[in-house]
Structure 1
Amino acid sequence: MIPAIFTADLTSACRQVLLVIAPGEDSTTATLRLLERRDSESAWQQHGETIPVTIGRKGFAWGLGEHRSQPPAGFRYKREGDGCAPAGIFRVSLAFGEPHAAPPGCKLPYLPISDTLLAIDDPESRYYNQIIDSAKVPAARRDWTGAEVMHRTGGLYRWGIVVAHNPQNQPGHGSCIFMHLWLRPGHPTSGCTAMSEENILRVLQWLDPAKEPRLVQGIG
C-alpha cells in the first residue's frame, strides 16, 4: 500500500499515514488514503473511504523531508516556484484556519489566520519557508520580496494543515506546502495537496499527534 521506496524510512513511532498516490509524475490528481496501525509490527489498515485530491499543476517532484531514499531515476527535485507538489515523507503537526477556533474533534495544535499572517516564499529572506505574523516583525527585518497572504480570498485556507517540507528551510528548495481546500474538483494547485471541505474536516478530526502522523506522497 505504501510505496516500498518509503516504508523503510517511516519512523517506527508512526501509527497514522496520510498516503497520497498519483498515477504518474506529471499527474495533477491523486488519491488520499488514511492509514493506521496499532504498532510498528502491525499491518497498515485503511480508515474510511479513499479521498480524491489535487496536487501541483506540474505533478510531483522529490522533496525534502524525513525520507532518506534517493528518487527513482529521472525523477526531478523540488524547486521554488516549479508548480510541483513534493514527493516523500513529511511531518504534519499544525492545523490552521480562518475561524478563531479549531473545528470540533481537531487534536492538532491550531493557528487561526489573521490579516497579517504571511507565508514567506522569498529564498533570500531570513524567514524563507516560514509562516510569520508580519505585524510582529520590526521594519528593519522585513527582508522578503515575496510572500503569500494566508487570509486569502476564495476560502481555500478556511481549513488547512502545515506540511513540514524542507524543514531546514534550505533556500530555493520549495516553501510553504499545505493541505487545504480545493478550488473545485480536478483543479491543480501550485504545489499543495487540496480536497473538499468535507474531506479536510474528516482528516483534521482523524489526525492524532500522539500517533506521530506523517504525510507520504508519491506515485504508484
Structure 2
Amino acid sequence: MKNAAQCLEVRQLPWLKTRGVLTLGGITVPCALGRSGVTHAKREGDGATPTGTFELMNVYYRADRQSRPRTALPIEALERQDGWCDDPGHPRYNRPVELPFGASHEKMWRDDRLYDIVVVLDCNMYPAVPGRGSAIFFHIAREGYTPTEGCVAVSPAHMKLILSKVRIGDVMTVS
C-alpha cells in the first residue's frame, strides 16, 4: 500500500506579511515569504508567494559548498551554467535553461547562499501559463528571514531536516 503524501503547510503570519511558519508533522519552523506577502492571483514579478498546493519536484544543491543533502527526492548538483527562464514570452518560460541564455532568466549558481539547496515546486509548470509566475522555489533563507521574490525560504539546518523527511509525491501548501 502506498503511503499518503505528506504536506508541508506554510501559513503567513497575520502581523507580518513577509514571514510565515512551515509545519511538517511535528516540525514547525520559521520561513520567509515574498516581499508582497501571499497572493491568490500570482503575476510575474509581483514579489508575492502564491497560495496553493505544489508538489516537491526535485532538489538542486551546491556541491562546492556542502555534501549532498539526504533526501528521497530526485537530487542533482548545480552547475555554473544552470539558469531558469523567467521570460513569459519565451517557449522555455518557467523551465530550467543552460546559460548563456538570450531571454530573461535567473542564475541558479548564485554568489549568495540562497540556492545552496533549492527545491523546485510545481507552481505554474504543467502547463506554464505565461505571466503567472516563474521560479517559485523552496530554498535557503537570508539572515533574518528577509523577504524573498515570491519563494518560501528556511534556514539551512531546517532545510536539511525537512529534506531528510520528505519523499516523492509530497506537497507544500501555502495559505
Between 153-162 and 79-88, the greater mean CA deviation after superposition: 153-162
Displacement after TM superposition at 1:13 (Å): 6.8
Residue 110 of structure 1 corresponds to 75
**How big is the shift at 1:107?**
1.0
With the length of structure 1 as denominator, give the TM-score of the two structures.
0.73
Query: Which residue of the other structure, out of 48, 51, 60, is the alignment partner of 2:29?
Result: 51
**Cα distance between partner residues in 2 of 1:125 and 1:25:** 38
Q: State the distance in 2 between where 1:108 and 1:93 align.
A: 7
TM-score by length of structure 2 reads 0.91
Q: Give the Cα–Cα distance (whole angstroms) in 2 for the partners of residues 164 and 174 of structure 1.
A: 11
What letter is aligned with 2:38?
A: F
Instruction: Describe the shift of the 1:106–1:31 C-alpha distance in structure 2 as closer, same or farther (beyond 3 A).
Output: same
| 1:196–1:26 CA distance, 2 compared to 1 (3 A) | closer
Q: Distance in 2 between matches of 1:17 and 1:54?
A: 18
1:203 maps to which of 159, 162, 166: 162
Deviation at 1:179, TM superposition (A): 0.8
Match in the other structure for 2:38:
60
Distance 1:13 1:89 in 2: 18
* 2:99 alignment partner in structure 1: 134
Following superposition, the deviation at residue 188 of structure 1 comes to: 0.6
Amino acid at match of 2:147: P
Q: Tell me, what secondary structure is at the counterpart of 1:204?
A: helix
Which of 12, 21, 24 is matched with 1:22 structurally?
12
- Secondary structure (helix, strand or coil) at the match of 2:144 reads coil
Gaps of at least 5 residues in structure 2 are none
- Higher share of residues assigned strand: 2
- The answer as to whether partners of 2:13 and 2:21 remain within 8 angstroms in 1 is no
1:217 aligns with 2:161: no
CA distance, structure 2, for counterparts of residue 56 and residue 156 of structure 1: 14
Moved segments of 4+, more than 2 Å: 12-15, 23-26
Once the two structures are TM-superposed, the CA of residue 160 in structure 1 deviates from its matched residue by 1.4
Does 2:122 match 1:164? Answer: yes
| Aligned mates of 2:8, 2:92 — CA distance in 1 | 28
| Mapping for residues 114-193 of structure 1, pairs under 5 Å | 114-134=79-99, 143-144=102-103, 146-167=104-125, 168-193=127-152
How many correspondences in the alignment? 171
Sequence identity of aligned pairs in percent?
A: 29
Q: Are residue 91 (structure 1) and residue 55 (structure 2) matched?
A: yes
- CA–CA distance in structure 2, aligned partners of residues 27 and 88 of structure 1: 17
Give ranges in structure 1 of 5+ residues lacking alignment: 1-11, 35-45, 63-76, 136-141
- Give how far 1:159 is off: 0.8
What is the Cα-based RMSD across aligned positions, in Å? 1.9
Given that residues 178 and 192 in structure 1 are in contact (C-alpha distance below 8 angstroms), is that contact kept between their aligned partners in structure 2?
yes
* Separation in structure 1 between the aligned mates of residue 114 and residue 90 of structure 2, nearest angstrom: 25
Q: Select the structure of larger CA radius of gyration.
A: 1
